[in-house]
Amino acid sequence: MQASSYARDVAVTPATKLDAQKLRADFAVFEELFNGKPVAYLDSASSTQKPRQVLDAMREFYEHSYANVHRGVYTLAERATAGYEGAREKVRAYINAPSNREVIFTRSATEAINLIAYSWGLDNLGPGDVVVITELEHHANFVPWQFVAKKTGAEFAHIPIDDYGELQLDALDEIAKRGNVKVVANNLVSNTLGTINPVEKLAAWAHEQGAIMVVDAAQAAPHRHIDVQALGCDFLAFSSHKLCGPSGVGALWGKRELLEEMQPFNLGGEMIRSVALERTSWNELPYKFEAGTPAIAEAYGFGVALDYVSEIGLEAIEAHEHELVVQAMDALLEIPGVRVFGPPADRRTGIVSFELENVHPHDVAQILNWEGVAVRAGHHCTQPLMTRLGVAATTRASFYLYTVPEDIDRLIAGLHKVKDTFGA
Amino acid sequence: MSEMEQMYREVILDHYKSPRGHGLIENADAQAEGQNPLCGDEVTISVKFAADGETIESIGFEGRGCAISQAATSMLTELVVGRKASEVAVLPKEELLEEIGIPLTPIRLKCAILGLGVLKVALHKAKGTPLPQEWQGMGDDLSFA
């Protein structure tokens, strides 16, 4: 449609544009050939590629600043601690948290949510209470709550979605009648559909009910500006590996009052104040929740990745991904037999899930692989959502700051090859 | 023949598009269902035994999933009719893979042997035959039903 493409052009401020082609030089993987072709990497929602800046910084850290943190008095240990704590400050700034003490390094966003479910949930939930999640949660923000609800006798309720994959908030009144709502857990962005969820509204509703609001920001933090104070949530989790950082490290932010009341999640070294045969007292925040030697260099690399992404600019990343999503959705919908799931382009981040009639997503992904196109096929750890959509699996293409329009052209060409193979 | 043409060779696509043994058997003697969590393939298999209560007289399946999983299950139905439950329970996967006859990566291998695993579970439930190792000790049910 001519009118809408014109409107799109004027909506994007040229100053916020990023040059994906130029950024690709930071990623060695794009120089390599797979099946004779460079990779069209369309699986960034699963995990992103890593720029040299992050890898070089981690190597430098290991070579010149590495020791265990918070212990030694020697120079190396001081450097290591400074690097690790510096990363904590970068995480704090990235999500506009009020205090460093509220930022806990975890192994992943998944572990961060498990920490809340176990440490807060087991002590604060019981019969008559209601735990509320949504139909489009990732299993990471679904299964821990289902488990803890079952263990404590609390009810487990879900907010349904409409046919566009948007939350049906008019269901909230009915849910409130089922008992004392104690937890509302939702992803800020759906990993399968890219839907941007109304977390501020949910947080306000949660607080009216006397509940805590838990936000899974794993799919949001790499792509959009996050401000935990503006969101009004109580906990927020995200990970490093989805925003150009190393895997093995994630972050949990929580309100100090809540974190202080909670029991530790893991027990051992670092998280204690004093230990005697009779009793042990916990260390102060955030160390109470960081038992054991953490992923030191990874946390440091996480901080460098936050710098890398911030320097490019989240507004520029968002605008870039929006252009790609529009291109992909327009092109996909021109292929007969393709069904695209989820909301319109302006209501989602750089994620497009679709199905090709009569061909299973696994077969789609296999044939695309031979064309050098990397997509995800499966249920994307969102089986309840798959059930709602009436499919067993979808094919998902997801974009990031290094994705170029040619990647999407290759996806589309590959899909025509799939159709030829299957006669679909 | 390219790797792609080999994997999606005619016989695979034929079994996928016109599966043999399709549809569940009413009043089946053995039945089980299973999923491949990696890609969401699903297969339900039902079996009817002959008068000896041991020989597989007929077998039917329903499922949805990728071409490899569904074609392999279709081929499996042809492979096991007329054979004894005790024999099928220990049928090596290689016999099925030979039938499929294409190179498979470890992930696609799971698609290919899903139906065989489900059939062995069905036989286990009905006859107490040994369960394949990968189906033992499945996690506790978290359902809220």
**Range A65-79 average pLDDT:** 91
CB pairs under 8 A between A and B: 62
Give pLDDT tens digits for B7-39. 788 889 999 999 999 999 999 999 999 887 766
Element (H, E) at A407: helix A405-422
Residue B85 domain flag: yes
**B143's tokens:** 């359902």
ipTM, 2 decimals? 0.75
pLDDT over 70 at A274, yes or no: yes
CB-nearest partner of A366 from B7, B38, B41: B7
A359 in contact with B at a CB cutoff of 8 Å?
A: yes
pLDDT over 80 at A230, yes or no: yes
Q: In which domain, by residue range, is B44 found?
A: 3-126
Residue (of A316, A52, A349, A301) closest to A190 by Cα position: A349
A147 in contact with B at a CB cutoff of 8 Å?
A: yes
Number of domains within chain A: 2
**Range A343-368 average pLDDT:** 94
Give pLDDT tens digits for B73-85. 999 999 999 999 9
Same domain, A377 and A289: no
pLDDT over 60 at A5, yes or no: no
Phi first, then psi, for residue A184 (nearest 5°) are -120, 125
CATH number for position B110: 3.90.1010.10
Query: What pLDDT is recorded for position A12?
Result: 41
pTM of the model: 0.88
Measured CB to CB, residues of chain B less than 8 Å from chain A are 2-4, 7-8, 13, 37-42, 64-70, 108, 111, 142, 144
Q: In which domain, by residue range, is A173 found?
A: 55-310
Distance CA(A297)–CA(A222), nearest Å, equals 20
Higher pLDDT, A227 or A423: A227
Same domain, A291 and A325: no
Query: What pLDDT is recorded for position A56?
Result: 98
Same domain, A36 and A107: no
Domain boundary among A310, A338, A365: A310
Instruction: Give the percent of chain A with pLDDT over 90.
Output: 86
Same domain, A124 and A240: yes
**Chain B nearest C-alpha distance from A105 (Å):** 29
Query: What pLDDT is recorded for position B138?
Result: 55
Nearest CA in chain B to A422: B13
Residues A392, B108: C-beta atoms closer than 8 Å: no
CA count, 13 A, side-chain hemisphere, A351: 31
The pLDDT mean for chain A works out to 93
Residue (of A17, A4, A43) closest to A346 by Cα position: A4
DSSP code string of A333-377: HTSTTEEE-SS-GGGB-SEEEEEETTB-HHHHHHHHHHTTEE-EE
**Residue numbers in A near B40 (CB within 8 A):** 378-379, 383, 386, 392-393
Residue B144 domain flag: no
Give pLDDT tens digits for B82-100. 999 999 999 999 999 999 9
Is the CB of residue A410 less than 8 Å from the CB of residue A373? yes
Same domain, A161 and A305: yes
| Alpha-carbon distance values, B130 to A25, A71, A78, B89 (Å) | 55, 54, 58, 7
E runs forming strands in B37-145: 41-49, 56-64
Place of tokens 């079994």: B15
Residue type, A327: Q
Residue A424 domain flag: no
Q: In this predicted structure, which of A97-101, A348-352, A420-424 has the lowest mean pLDDT?
A: A420-424
pLDDT band at B106 (very low <50, low <70, confident <90, very high): confident
Give pLDDT tens digits for A383-422. 899 889 988 889 999 999 999 999 999 999 999 999 999 9
Q: Tell me the residue length of chain B.
A: 145
Query: What pLDDT is recorded for position B94?
Result: 94
Give pLDDT tens digits for B45-57. 999 999 999 999 9
Residue (of A214, A243, A196) closest to A346 by Cα position: A196
CATH number for position A111: 3.40.640.10
Query: What pLDDT is recorded for position B39?
Result: 67
Distance CA(A155)–CA(A145), nearest Å, equals 10
| Alpha-carbon distance values, A343 to A82, A191, A308, A325 (Å) | 44, 13, 30, 11
Distance CA(A201)–CA(B95), nearest Å, equals 57
**A385's tokens:** 């959502």
pLDDT band at A9 (very low <50, low <70, confident <90, very high): very low
